[in-house]
Amino acid sequence: MLDDFMTRATLAGIGVAFAAAPLGCFVVWRRMAYFGDATAHAAILGVALSLALEMSIFPGTLAVALIMALTVTLMAGRGYAMDTLLGVLAHSALAFGLVAVSFLPGIRIDLMAYLFGDILAVSSMDLAVIWGGAALVVALMLWRWSALLTSTLNEDLAYASGINPKHEQMTLTLSLAITVAVAIKVVGVLLIAAMLIIPAAAARGLARTPEAMAAVAAAIGGLSAFVGLRAAYIFDTPAGPSIVCVAAILFAAVNALGWLSQK
Q: Quote the CA–CA distance of 43 and 61 in Å, as a whole number.
A: 5
Across residues 115-134, what is the average pLDDT?
A: 89
- Spell out the domain ranges in the chain: 5-261
Q: What is the pLDDT of residue 55?
A: 82
Residues 165/156, Cβ–Cβ less than 8 Å: no
Q: Please give the Cα distance from 243 to 119 (Å, whole number).
A: 10
SS (H, E, C) 70-132: HHHHHHCCCCCCHHHHHHHHHHHHHHHHHHHHHCCCCCCCCHHHHHHCCHHHCCHHHHHHHHH
pLDDT in tens, 28-86: 998 877 777 778 888 888 888 888 787 888 888 888 888 877 777 777 666 666 677 77
Q: Which tens digit of pLDDT belongs to each residue from 173-222?
A: 889 888 988 888 888 887 888 999 999 999 998 998 999 999 999 999 99
- Top-tier CATH class for 5-261: mainly alpha
- Convert the pLDDT of each residue in 231-250 to its tens digit: 999 999 999 999 999 999 99
In whole angstroms, give the CA distance from residue 90 to residue 100: 15
In the three-class reduction of DSSP (H, G, I as helix; E, B as strand; rest coil), residue 19 is classed as helix
Nearest Cα to 20, choosing from 170, 141, 185, 190? 141
